[in-house]
Amino acid sequence: MRTAPGQPAEPFFLDSAPGRRFCLFHPPAGACRGAVLYVHPFAEEMNRSRRMAALQARALAARGYGVLQLDLYGCGDSSGDFGDARWAIWKTDIAAGAAWLQRRLERPLTLWGLRLGALLALDYAREAPEPPQALILWQPVLNGATYLTQFLRLRVAGAMLDEGAKTSTGALRQALQDGETLEIAGYDLAPELAMAIDTLPPADTLAPACRVDWFEALGAPEAALPAGAARIQAEWQQRGVDLQLHALACPPFWITPEITESRAWVDATSAVLGERADAS
């Protein structure tokens, strides 16, 4: 997949205590139509999604949006190890990235989050002194506790391959509550981060006070929305959220064994932002 050529991305480090965060800024082509801050997913999903995130960032920049990709603390090329990561630090990183974009572009902010990054963006938006103008949610995690259970199952599955080794998600949760850092799929999960994810309010209680474009992958064009997504859609709309849900029949690129590209995601997201800018 190719995107329209534009100005080269600008790599730099942004101060955001503790340490610095690696950033990649995609300047807007022509007159700036808005600012977009990308909030990446968790652990290996971040690496699997790098290609798609870059393609989308370039496509939006070609349409006149300034896009900032920021590696959260303990992730990618930013300061710290994954075992040092904390939910509160990640929200501080979002605030730092939003402030940098505001200084650079002086345009309304759109937060674009993928998977757990979408839930992080929602959690940030409900407390931010200056909430974003809009949210783009790519396949958002709907419940932190459920997501943590799924991540712990990677450790359980690995233990089953060791003869005689036994464990369970309940036992791993207890170990975290006892203060133990767990190695899971190559990542050190600190108890502080795990407990923060485990106790997050579910997405249906995080109805944002801004426009939301939610993109959900389906296995087939005629497939129904997952029950959780349909429930939250109804709940948010009852609360008056300006929500548009976009169903896409395409592979889940954040978990595929090979790096996967999906034009459907890029084209649909670019079209939505373009329509929004034209209507304003």
pLDDT over 90 at 1, yes or no: no
Domain 10-143+211-279 CATH class label: alpha beta
Instruction: Give the model's pLDDT for residue 111.
Output: 98
Average per-residue pLDDT in the chain?
93
pLDDT over 60 at 163, yes or no: no
User: Alpha-carbon distance 138 to 119, whole Å?
Assistant: 10
pLDDT over 50 at 177, yes or no: yes
DSSP 225: P
Instruction: Give the model's pLDDT for residue 106.
Output: 95
| Confidence bin at 165 (pLDDT 50/70/90) | low
Query: Do 12 and 23 form a contact (C-beta atoms < 8 A)?
Result: yes
User: Alpha-carbon distance 195 to 200, whole Å?
Assistant: 9
**Residue reference for tokens 């992730």:** 75
* 13: β partners: 22
Query: Do 148 and 228 form a contact (C-beta atoms < 8 A)?
Result: no
pLDDT over 60 at 274, yes or no: yes
Sorted by sequence, the CB contacts under 8 Å of residue 244 that are 6+ apart come out as 211, 212, 213, 214, 272
Instruction: Give the model's pLDDT for residue 78.
Output: 98
* 20: β partners: 15
Instruction: Give the model's pLDDT for residue 219.
Output: 81
| Confidence bin at 3 (pLDDT 50/70/90) | very low
User: Model-level pTM?
Assistant: 0.94
Task: Count CB neighbours of 55 within 10 A.
Answer: 18
Quickly list H helices, the chain.
Answer: 44-62, 87-105, 116-125, 144-160, 169-177, 191-198, 227-238, 263-279
pLDDT over 90 at 161, yes or no: no
User: Alpha-carbon distance 239 to 66, whole Å?
Assistant: 31
Greater confidence (60 vs 219) lies with 60
Residue-wise pLDDT tens digits, 203-240: 999 999 999 999 999 887 788 889 999 999 999 999 99
Instruction: Show me where the domains of the chain are located.
Output: 10-143+211-279, 144-199
Query: What is the share, in percent, of the chain residues with pLDDT greater than 90?
Result: 84
User: Alpha-carbon distance 34 to 13, whole Å?
Assistant: 22
Greater confidence (189 vs 257) lies with 189
pLDDT over 80 at 8, yes or no: yes
